[in-house]
Amino acid sequence: MLNRAFFLFIFLHWLLAQASGQQALVLSNITIYQDSSFSSESKGNLKKGAIVNILDQSIAFHEDKTQTQQFPWFLVQDKTNQKGWVMGDELAVLSLSPSRFSGISQMTGAPYSICDGFEKSVFYWGNTSGKDDQSSHFSAKNEYHENYLVFINPENQTKFLSVGTKSERGNNTCIGIYFTDLTQNGHQEIVLIRSLSGKEMDEEVRKLEIYQILDGDFKLIFEQRLNIYFEPGITSPGRFKFVDISPDGIRLEYPKYEKCTKSHFGVPITKEPVTYEKCLSWISESYTWDRINNRFSHFYQPSALPFRARPLQEAVFLRERPSLSSPSIKLVQRNDRFKVIAHLETILTIKKKKVVRIFFLLKSADGTIGYLPSNQVEFVQAAHATILNQFYASPLLIKRDWKQETQFIRLRDFAKNAHWEVTGKLTEH
């Protein structure tokens, strides 16, 4: 009965939107004008969060008050039948389908409950579109877009959250959205995975953000930058932290590369004539929800363990040093297991071309210590095992060029009706 009533509400809301024409969300408290000009007579005000009907739109784009962007003017009408013109940067046009600039290609789900009074909300996408000022020059290439998640309850009240922007300067793209009752308060939090990129950025930056309605608005209750590094400025073969979200909290794990000291996990480190010598650790840390302070706090501080691995071949010799010409010290087999201690990388020039050779320092179950080429080793029992194996099978000279994707976030052990997810890739048409 609940689902039937909810979908009837969605259908009626859709019919109303069709009958009224296109609708928009008011993003802040604003003035409406007699004509499409800031110098025209004021006709009244609209409140933040109001839903208005769009009656008309200017063909031309006009400078906003800051004179740094351009937007169309919209003729709008509110629920009291008040009419007037509003600059486009103050509105988010609503759609049941994701904008092509939102980074999302599909949506599925059930009734959305984000807070008291919004237990049965309709979900819309909101889009604000204009042009950026590039060196005092506006052109069709200088597109500017903002994207919003907009929730509307049966009383036509709204809650909204900014989820992305796109411009010539750079993009803040939402590449994953998850709704789940993570704090177990009876309502769904919003989990966002953001991808940030731009002309002045050397690399893509990814962030995990979790939002909850507090004091009437969306508040950021958890944030974590997901990028990991081989060394400052050099991308890690693991690319990003892995995030595991369950009713118990948030768990992060990732490979950590660091400068080797005299020993690592009890294994003596012998200095070798290599380009990079990095000790490798598998880091995990956990957060749990603090109901008293309304925040996530460390449940387990970051801990370090060695990665586990095995030979890729049925039988291969451990080497005394990181070189195939080094003496063999032990024959190991496919079912043997190792602790991975260190990454030793050498950049060579062969026939005027630079190539990379990587060996791992390993410790076997019986305590034998030796080296194997990275393409003869397979990581096991870790979230990053697949992506590490793909990288080390054919290592890149420039790690920043490593773009391989994997599933870096997982939600588990929630009731089926307690969460849903939207994922996709940015599509340009």
Name the band, by pLDDT with cuts 50, 70 and 90, for residue 241: very high
In a domain, 417, yes or no: no
Indicate whether 175 and 312 sit together in one domain: no
SS3 416: helix
Q: What distance in Å separates the CA atoms of residue 342 and residue 360, rounded to the nearest whole number?
A: 6
Given a cut of 90, whether residue 61 has pLDDT beyond it is no
pLDDT at 107: 47
- CATH number of domain containing 391: 2.30.30.40
pLDDT at 103: 46
In a domain, 421, yes or no: no
pLDDT at 134: 59
Indicate whether 206 and 240 sit together in one domain: no
Indicate whether 202 and 236 sit together in one domain: no
pLDDT at 18: 45
Given a cut of 80, whether residue 34 has pLDDT beyond it is yes
Indicate whether 216 and 236 sit together in one domain: no
Indicate whether 234 and 179 sit together in one domain: no
pLDDT at 224: 95
SS3 88: helix
Indicate whether 202 and 269 sit together in one domain: no
Torsion angle in degrees (nearest 10) through CA of 12, 14, 17, 18: -110
Greater confidence, 275 or 99?
Answer: 275
Which residue has 């019919």 as its token pair?
Answer: 15
- Say how many domains are in the chain: 2
Token duo for residue 311? 């030979």
Indicate whether 16 and 150 sit together in one domain: yes
**Domain end marker among 175, 206, 226:** 226
Given a cut of 80, whether residue 30 has pLDDT beyond it is yes
In a domain, 260, yes or no: yes
Given a cut of 50, whether residue 411 has pLDDT beyond it is yes
pLDDT at 48: 95
pLDDT at 37: 87
Domain region containing 346: 228-407
Greater confidence, 260 or 179?
Answer: 260
pLDDT at 111: 65
How many residues does this entry show for the chain?
Answer: 429
* Mean pLDDT of the residues in the chain: 85
Indicate whether 49 and 132 sit together in one domain: yes
Name the band, by pLDDT with cuts 50, 70 and 90, for residue 176: confident
| Torsion angles phi and psi, residue 7, rounded to 5 | -70, -25
Q: Which of 197-206, 236-245, 324-333 has the lowest mean pLDDT?
A: 197-206
